[in-house]
Structure 1
Amino acid sequence: MSDNSFSHESFDDLIAANTEYQKTFKYSGLSGSAAKGLAIVTCMDSRINPLSVVGMNSGDAKILRNAGARVTEDVLRTLVLATYLLNVNRILVMPHTDCAMARGDEAAIHKLIDDKYGVNTSSLEFKTTSDQLGALASDINRVRSYPLLRDGVVVAGAIYDVKTGKITPYEG
């Protein structure tokens, strides 16, 4: 069983960094709305700084992250809230190059976790794909056709290149 205590020494660096952060904190005037009307669905990969990629700052956009930048039920739920309540009128679905979720298959990842850690993850769907552009097209269509999103929301896709920082719009 894991130790779920925030006061655990594993988090000391975070508390120290936050103490420094508070000294120059400048975001108290921001609202919860997306000032530039954008939501970005992207991967949890730590090589991606979604706001910087598109030239924005804190408060400008809503960021939704998960493994593989996939449009899941939870992403759709969050986008409904964002489009009605948080000023979002455009959505960018942005997976990236060199993504582990785009180069393996479900069975291989389940097997890796089971072999390495003895944990059976077969009850989960990781939503891997061997066709990243096909998955992106499907996810864009899923958002565009979702009946509960606010009318008039514009949806687009792009692939972020983790080696160059370039986003390439998906035109499919």
Structure 2
Amino acid sequence: MNSAFDDLFTANDAYAADFRLSGLAPVAARGLAVVTCMDSRIEPLQALGLEPGDAKILRNAGARVTDDTLRTLVLAVYLLEVDRVLVMPHTRCKMASVSGDDEVHEAIEGRFGVDTRSLEFHTDNDQVGALRHDLERIRHHPLLPRALPVAGAVYDVDTGRVEPQDA
């Protein structure tokens, strides 16, 4: 086994010894899916007053609604009892602080020598504009119910506040 992960497996031993989530149904008990960023400063369940099992949490860089996010939402709506979606990017997001994907590609290649141009990072320094676009992608996806409630909010990493966006 790779020793780089020993701390994690040791921590898991303690977690498993006091594990209390056994028996949770695989559905979203409160009918919610949250699309948010992978940023570790965000604790979506706690920020929204939720408990494990209440929601499906979809995380990616920038909280963007990608094709994979849409695929996952279709599954969540039809198989996991999701009946509403909140898209929640956050303040001080690296993916919203650059002028575009080219800037990220150049930074990675310049620093690490890796050409990432085959990837689309979905960066956008107009965070609210990107949020509006992403909400519309969900609202108009042909495989999602037309009446599916979809909302947007921005999580503030400095205060923990979630500010609804009229998007």
The TM-score bracket by the shorter chain reads over 0.9
Q: Deviations over 1:69-92 (max 9, x none)?
A: 000000000000000010100000
TM-score (ref. length: structure 2): 0.97
Aligned equivalents of 1:68 and 1:168: distance in 2? 17
Aligned equivalents of 1:18 and 1:130: distance in 2? 38
Q: Is the Cα–Cα contact under 8 Å of residues 83 and 149 in structure 2 kept in the other structure?
A: yes
Identity among equivalent pairs (%)? 57
Q: Is the Cα–Cα contact under 8 Å of residues 83 and 153 in structure 1 kept in the other structure?
A: no
Task: Mark the runs of 5 or more structure 1 residues left unpaired by the alignment.
Answer: 1-6
Task: Point out 4+ residue stretches in structure 1 off by more than 6 angstroms.
Answer: none
Is the counterpart of residue 32 in structure 1 residue 26 in structure 2?
Answer: yes
Query: How far apart are residue 106 of structure 1 and its match?
Result: 1.2
Cα RMSD of the aligned pairs, angstroms, is 0.8
Match of 2:145 among 134, 150, 154: 150
Aligned equivalents of 1:151 and 1:35: distance in 2? 21
Letter in 1 for 2:133: S
Q: Is the Cα–Cα contact under 8 Å of residues 40 and 63 in structure 1 kept in the other structure?
A: yes
Query: How far apart are residue 152 of structure 1 and its match?
Result: 3.0
TM-score (ref. length: structure 1): 0.94
Q: Tell me how many residue pairs correspond in the alignment.
A: 166
Task: Mark the runs of 5 or more structure 2 residues left unpaired by the alignment.
Answer: none
Q: Deviations over 1:24-56 (max 9, x none)?
A: 101111010000000000000000011111000
Aligned equivalents of 1:98 and 1:131: distance in 2? 12
